[in-house]
Structure formats: C-alpha cells, structure tokens
Chains A and B, each alone.
Chain A
Amino acid sequence: MNRFTLICAALVFLLAGSVSAQDVLFRNATVLTITDGDLENTDVLVSGGIITEIGSNIRAPRGITEVDATGKYLMPGIIDAHSHIALTSVNEGSSPVTAEVSMEDVVNPYHLGIYRALAGGVTTSHTMHGSANVIGGQNETIKHRFGTKDPDDVRFEGAPRTIKFALGENPTRVHGNRGSGGTGAIVPATRMGVEQVLRGSFENGKRYMEAWDAYTAEAATNPRAVPPAYNNRLEVMADILRGDVLVHCHSYRADEILMLTRVFNDYEVRKITFQHANEAFKVAPELAAYGAYASVFADWWSYKFEVYYSTSYNAAILMRNGVVTSINSDSGELNRHLYHEAAKSQRYGGLNDAEALSMITINPAIQLGIQDRVGSIEIGKDGDLTLFDGHPLSVYAIPAMTFVDGIKYFDRFEDADDMRLQISPSAEIGTFEGQITGRDHIHDETEVLDFFELFGEDILTTIDSQ
C-alpha cells in the first residue's frame, strides 16, 4: 500500500470521526525520527496503527487519546535483533544441523520477558534458536503485543524468514567436545569441521533443489515420475539458496567470519547478518564490501576465549567502516535497556546521537528485512513508538510509555506491579526466585551452551517422561 493511499484512508478515517484502540495523538514531543533528524515541539498522529501525520498542532480527531509529550522524547520502538524471549524452548541441540525446526512453533506469548522489554522501549524482538548448532533453526520476529494468549497474535506478520547459524566454540563444544557418558562426539569439534558442516549442508541442499526441480519438470509430462525423498531439512537449505531466508550467524572470531563469507560467496548467498561478531571490527572492510551486516554487543567480552580479544569499540569501528550495525541484547536483562547499550557507543568510539540510535532502530530493521514497516518515525510506518522521560541516550532516561500498532502496552505509572499472564496455582509464593544480571551469559535461562546442560545426566534414563 503506498503512502498516498494510506494518507487518504487516514483522512477519511479522521473525517468519519470514529476512533479505535489503534489511534493515538502525541502532542509536543521532541521527535527523534532517526531518518529525518530530530523535530522539536512536534505532534505525531497514529491512526489505525499507522503513523499518518507528523507536524505541529495536528488537528485531533474527536475522541482520540491524546498523550501530552511536552518535555519528553518520542522515538521509534526499539528493535532487538537477537533475543530468546517468548520461547518455550531454544536449542534443539541434538544435531549440528536442524534447519527444519522453527521458533515459529514455540512462540510463548505469556512470557513476562515481553512486558519487561516493553518497559525498556522495545517493540519488536527477533527471537531466535540458540547457538548450539552450526545450522540451527529458523527464528521468529515478533511484536510485543503483550496480553494475548494466542501465539499467532504476536507474530510480526510479513516479516521475512530468518535462520540461525552458529560458528566457533558453542557448536564445537556441544557436538564435538562431549565428555564422558559414552555419548559419541560428532563433527564439528573444530573450526575446520564447522566449515565442512556448512559446505556439506549447502551442497546437499543444492542437489536436493536440483533433484526436485528435475522432478517437477519431468512430472509435467510423465504421470509416473517418481518424486525424490522428501527432506524438510534440505528444503530449508534450498530456501536459503533461493534467497528466501535471511541468515543470522552467531560468530566471534574474524577468521570464522571470513570463512562464512567465502562459503556464502561460493553458494551465492548474499543476505547475512553476523551476530555478536566480537571480532568483526578486524575484518570491517571485507564485511562492508560483501554487504554483510553486523549485530553486536555493546560491551560483552572475555567470558569465552573467542571473545577475549574483543573491544567495546566494535560497533563504532564497524559503523565508521560502512557496515550496517545494530546493537542487540541476547539477554532478558539487557533488552530492558538497549537504549543505554546503544549509548555506550558514544563513550566507546564517539558515535553521535543519530548513529547511536540508528543501531537500535532502523539498522536492526534493515537486518530483519522489516525496514519498510518499522525502525523510524515516518508517515506510513507502524505506530510502534516509545516515549522517554529524558533523552534515551542519557543514563538517567526513563521509558514512560510504549506503543505497538498504536496500542499502549506499557505505562510506567498506570501499570500494576504484577503483570504476569499466568501463575502457578500451587507453587510456593513469596520467595526469591533468582535474577538475571548483566553478566549472566546464560541468556534468559533457556539458552544453554554445553551438552550436559542441554540434556543433563538423564540422557541415560528411559524415555517415558509422563
């Protein structure tokens, strides 16, 4: 739908005088558009969940909810390009290649993490398969429409398909370096093995695609053509080769980052976002030339050997070298203050306000292929907005309200303390439950890194669990 049509529709809407839950008018904010500079004392109108007007003294449709944003900052809802919230399960770590599984099947709209992210101004998360496997499962982009019990309601409709790859210590530890217990180690145990798993999977995917193309051609004339064996794993590999799936690859070392670009180049796969990519700064020119993107931490380092030689200036170096870079959380704690994580790039590399904010808005939108819908405050984009007390890049900033599709899902002053959608009817209450802190690299208690954390000692027990 083009913007003109949208504006006309919006005007008709306005004239008709009826308002919906998806309509809201922000008055007199400092609007951080991201793509068109900062606008002082500006109003923003959202109708039917879409931004329809940006300007001064917008005429308010009758009955619309008005938000007085005087003295406050309105920015696009933050987009977290690496998350594991809202998932029932994260790692199908039993095989180094699991392209056929998808987070689409295990979205959990009940997860309180969605609300807590909203309280940090995040409106969209790319919630991902874990990093146990070289080729993991497909991810899901969700909008934080907290309050529903139906998983379909939080899907970001129309968002491109993406898939998780992982290089380095995680897959080699999970699969190749298993300890005792008699369970065999399987390839990969080294970075060499990781490359071969990738090449083997792509080659098999290519041949699968060719076999099915050949069959389809033959079947047009021969009713007794025999279709090849169906394999949903290779089907997804074929989709990647066709360019239908964006690859997001967990990676750290510069050499393995380049390895992947070589493999992708051989198979003509163009769309790649390197996730974490702590050493991407060492090969920034190569990444920029390939058109690869990077989605990195603000300052995590040294928790594993492959991130020992990292620098918190990673994001700044990448940006300065022309790589579209975002800052992500990979954590149910960090995603509550991604605005602060992005702000760290001002200390570590001197990025200006626009650059810093772009790393949590338009850049992750580009990396997820949803930049036409979100990532900036522009007419025609979704009404995914967050209102701050204080400039978002200040450590003293406090998110006050967050909207998705024009509907308010977080209000610092109006929301109850206990926002849980479900509780246990019998568990003990009133107890300390635990915390995720900024240095917790287990990421939201569901992503686990080691084989025995995945399966525990019970791998040796019987199958019945009921």
Chain B
Amino acid sequence: MTVFYSLVLAFMMLIPQSQQQDQKARQGTYAITNARIETVSDGTIENGTVVIEGDRIIAVGINVAIPEGAQLIDGSGMHVYPGMIDSGTSLGLVEVGSVAETNDTNEVGEVTPHMDALTAVNPNAVAIPVTRVSGITTVITEPGGGLLPGTAAAINLFGYTAEQMHAGDVRMLVLQFPRKGGFGNFRRFRGGGAARDPEAEYKKAMDKLNEIWDRASLYQKIAAAYAADPSGKTMPVYAPEMDAITPVLTGDRKLMVKVDGEKDILAAINWVQERKLTNVVFSGVSEGWRVADKLAEAGIACLVGPMLATPTRGSDRYDRAYANIGLMADAGVTVAIRSGETENVRNLAFNAGFAAAYGMGKEAALKAVTLGPAQIFGIDADYGSIEVGKKANLFLSDGDPFETSTNILALFIDGFNVPIESRHLDLYQEFLNRDEGRLQPVEVLPADH
C-alpha cells in the first residue's frame, strides 16, 4: 500500500502546477510565494511567503525557508487572506428552501435545545463549494424556529463527514429571545384572523423561558448530586432538553441569543445578567446601534448582520442596516459579521464591504470576518489570522476579496488545497459556449424570424 501511495505522490510531483487540473483536494506541503499577506493579527507583509504543511501554517514572512518538495504557488501580484468566517448561517442544513423535506433547520416544538445542527449538516450540500470558492472557509450553522431550536455548530467548509468539518469543537446553544410586540408593523399577509394580544403573548413567552431555565438549574443540580454519589438515590428523570442546557449553566458552552429589536436587546441584557450568564453572545442585533452603549457596558459580543437589509423602522435613515455594525463598534462593542444566509453565504464578503463603506472601515470589517469571530468563539488559537501554528484556512486572490472584481484563485481549508470548483462554475464552463462540440449547425427558433 505504501508503495502505491508513494508512486502516486511521485506522479503528483511531476504534474505541472495548475490548480485546475488536479480536481481532488489534497493536504501536503505548499508554499505561496511573493504575495501580499494580510495577516490580520500583525499587519500586511509585502512579497511574503506562507508555508503550509499538513493542516497548519508552519511559516509566514519574507525570508522563510521553503521545505523541499513543497508545491510552489506563485503569488506575485496576489493577496493572501485568512479564510473568512461567517458568524451566522444555515449552510448545510437546507438544500432547497421551498422543499420542506430538504430543510433541516426547524424541528417540531418550541423547546428543542438538544437538536444538534451538526448532525443534520450535509457535507455534500451543493451550496458548500459555491460558498467556499468566494473565500469563506468557516461558518456557524444554526437551527431555527422555536424558543430553543437547538445547538449551532462551527464548521469548516471542507470535509467528508460532519466530524471532519466540525471546527474547533464549537457548539452554541441557540435561544430565540421572545420578541415584544410580535412582529410590530411588519405585515406578512396572513389573512384575517383573531386579533393577537402581543403583550400577553410576550409575557407568556418570557414566563416559559424562565420556567425552562429554572427547571434546567434544578435538573443540573440533581444530575450533579447524583453523579457525585449515586448511592441511595433514585435515578434522576431523563430530560435530554435539560442535558443540552446544562453546559450553558456551567459556563462551558456559549449561549447564542438571537435578538434584534431595541427593547428586546435591553430585555435580553437584563435577563442574561439576572441569570448570571457570562458566556453569551448576541446574534442578529439589527437595532444594536440604538443601545450600543448598553451592549458595550455589558460586555456582550455581538454577531451582527446581515448588513444588506432594509432599515428596521420606516423612520430610520435608509442606510441604517449598513451602518449598524460600525456604530456598535464605535461604541466599543465587540462584533463579528454574519450573513444570515443559506445558499448565498458567499455574500458575507460583500456584507463586510458595505459595513466598511458605511462607517466601519476596511480593517475592522476584515477583522470582523476573521480574527474577531475566532476570538469570540474561542478558537483564535487555530483560526482567524495568518500566523505560524494556526490552521491553514486561507485563500489567494487577485485583490480585495470584498470587491466583486476580485477573483479567488486558490483555497486552503484545514491545509487541503481545495479546488476552485462548484456547480455554478461547472455550469458556466459547460454553457458559456454550449454548442462548441457540435458539428452540425443548431436549429433555433424561429425559422422565419
């Protein structure tokens, strides 16, 4: 067997250095030379080299030693960036939005915290390659629907199994914080029907949340006591929902609170403080700018976005959604950018571009899709910047990846040199000149036009 693989490797080394010919992602030793490296953690390196071995970056700099046998990628005139991280998507959980059988985000019931998104991720989702060829290498994918819809996970966008894709072991419990005033003035046409009482509904939802949390605390106490010394004790009741909440109570797992409206954010801040939860992040936060001072004061990190959205109120300035994250950052809130997308997570880069243009600035926007989220999720030892020892999640481009005129030329995830291909590219290649393989002329309608 070893002989066979050695032969394959030997054969591989004779192949010219064209990314497109070898359609299989491979780890190995690579050196991207003479490129402009945006490390994010430590500024820009002009004419630098990045060396990758296995799944790690082993060297970054101007005069670095390139291991023998490394595949060279000439980065002259090119840029290297850390792979982008999207802090909120449903990538891999939905194949075709309107076909319910292909949508695994929303389980039956309001209280299903134990539903594990990672389980439902389809590593072969067509949208995954479509996303990564735009330079996004890691995403948070989240369940949705009820009050506690499940547990989100961080995944790298390359892998044949969920375990291979799971990034940094990151899981977060999702809490859809109850919303005051229902949907406000935003009308989705739902026919007539009985008048709803938003205040009563809100109170019911908050009561429910508090009841769940109180029980979860008790559950945890019981479980801990039983685990410490089971002798003489009846076995505790089994509640998988509560098992899923336990790690949040102990602070071992992050709670991701999905909240958007001004009043709801304030209520959520109060609630997490009352419950003494410190391992918390807010997600969505579309009105975060209104209470940015309170968020900064509370020290709660926010996964903000999408930027490409309409303002939340008719009275708001037209560019409020673009500027929201910048205003929050100005007030001292720790932020990351989320696209909230399913099939167009690739637009994360453009969300970041708009955030930059409307107040955040390019540097902060870049950080908000790289090192920023990595720090928030506690995986910055491995992700988020181009530094020696970190995972080789990075890409090579011919320009600023936020600009639409930029092309992504090479992609590394977990050190795998992932081919730049996707269904969209395949269709392009096939249909750009559809009939070039044909010898007889094509008859097209109409004959007598």
The chain A residues found within 8 Å of chain B, CB to CB, are: 112, 115-116, 119, 169, 258, 261-262, 265, 270, 281-282, 284-286, 288-291, 299-305, 308-313, 316-317, 320, 332-333, 336-337, 340, 343-344, 346-349, 390, 393-398, 417-420, 423-424, 427-439, 441-442, 445-446, 448-449, 452-459, 461
Contacts and interface: CB of A to CB of B under 8 A. Distances in A.
A106 to B, nearest CB: 15
Contact of B444 (A115, A169, A285): A285
Nearest to B262: A432
A395 B354 CA distance: 7
Contact of B312 (A290, A291, A432): A432
Contact of A436 (B179, B309, B342, B442): B309
Contacts of B424: 301, 310-313, 348
A347 B405 contact: yes
A435 B318 CA distance: 12
A431 B184 contact: yes
A445 B186 contact: yes
28 contacts: A112-B314, A265-B446, A282-B434, A285-B435, A288-B444, A289-B445, A304-B96, A313-B432, A333-B310, A347-B404, A393-B404, A395-B350, A395-B356, A396-B357, A397-B357, A398-B358, A417-B315, A418-B316, A428-B185, A431-B180, A431-B261, A431-B313, A433-B185, A434-B312, A435-B286, A439-B343, A446-B189, A458-B193
A424 B184 CA distance: 13
Interface string B166-202: 0000000000000111011111111111000000000
B403 interface: yes
Interface string B121-163: 0000011000000100000000000000000000000000000
Contact of A302 (B97, B316, B446): B97
A271 B66 CA distance: 62
A305 B95 CA distance: 9
B61 interface: no
A333 B287 contact: no
Interface in B391-425: 402-407, 423-425
Contact of A456 (B191, B309, B341, B407): B191
A237 B350 CA distance: 43
A417 B317 contact: yes
Contacts of A431: 180-181, 184-185, 261, 263, 313
Contacts of B449: 265, 270, 289-291
A282 B432 CA distance: 9
A302 B146 CA distance: 24
A115 B310 CA distance: 12
Contacts of B446: 261, 265, 289-290
B428 interface: yes
A286 B445 contact: yes
A18 B357 CA distance: 40
B405 A393 contact: yes
Given A311-B428, A348-B424, A433-B313, A302 B343 contact: yes
Given A265-B446, A281-B431, A304-B98, A434 B318 contact: no
